[in-house]
Amino acid sequence: MSDIRIANPIRTAGILRRYEIGAKKKYGQNFLIDEGLLEEIVEASGISGDDLAVEIGPGIGGMTEFLCERAGQVLAIEIDERLIPVLSDTVGHFSNLTILNADVLKTDIGGWAAQNAPGRRIRVVANLPYYITTPILMALLEGDAPVSSITVMVQKEVADRMVSGPGTKDYGALSLAVQYYADPRIVAEVPRESFDPMPGVESAVITLEKYDTPPVEVESRKLLFDVIRASFSQRRKTLANGLGNSDAIRLTKDEVREVIAECGWDERVRGETLTLSEFAKLTQILYTKM
């Protein structure tokens, strides 16, 4: 054990050298070397001594150390087998930590928690591998695991898309998917210098506080997301064209136009101007016609 934090830039460089670990680009490995920022992330996550913290991609343990000090239990899921012996040296002394050498997208987090941490609230905290940010977030939001919040480092551009509203350039299917399930809030903007090696993009930390029930009600959630996807598939086109050209919406263009009129909107309306409630209203009317 060392008094110096794992995320200290000199200690991180030392660990990477000693274990001869070159950061693997294909796994999105950019290790955090900013202790103040890690304090801020763990604080923003709201983790308490009763919670199970699930960390995706612990790397060499920089964030894991902070989580183990604060959470009741920590589950850290790391795909890169080279990092498992490193983690056992750096954070293996924490008795509340379980390390799984696995792909998070193939891990049943809910099942693990039910068996090994029953009754604990689940909070996901991570410096995500950017190459699979969206699949990870969608799996956490849509999946069966009872996750109550997600606090993650992502590309700044992706964070901006998640918090955007109608009529802005970043608004799209991701904004609506996230906002259907959770209340997103950017808690920090992070410069490239906070990582070793430095990533090619700016980053941000975002917290998604999951809703118990979604803010809008629809008969078919699948149709809602089909409608949203179709509306944004051709950004410059009207809503009527987007929906009329979609294989998922089995209505003619004329029928689609009638539905838009029934909603009380101009026939040239664009999907990018509609709120989540308006998409829900549109979906409900489409549902009755299909």
- Enumerate binding residues for ligand SAM (CB under 6 A): 27-32, 56-59, 62-63, 77-80, 83, 103-105, 127, 129, 132
Cα 73-79-80 angle, rounded to 5 deg: 115
Closer CB to ligand SAM, residue 152 or residue 178? 152
How far apart are CB 151 and ligand SAM at their closest, in Å?
Answer: 12
Residue showing the smallest CB distance to ligand SAM in the complex: 57
How far apart are CB 46 and ligand SAM at their closest, in Å?
Answer: 19
Closer CB to ligand SAM, residue 132 or residue 227? 132
**For 240, left (φ over 0), alpha (ψ -120 to 50), or beta?**
alpha
Closer CB to ligand SAM, residue 104 or residue 182? 104
CA 245 from centroid of its chain's CA atoms: 30
Closer CB to ligand SAM, residue 56 or residue 224? 56
How far apart are CB 203 and ligand SAM at their closest, in Å?
Answer: 9
Closer CB to ligand SAM, residue 105 or residue 290? 105
How far apart are CB 65 and ligand SAM at their closest, in Å?
Answer: 10
How far apart are CB 73 and ligand SAM at their closest, in Å?
Answer: 17
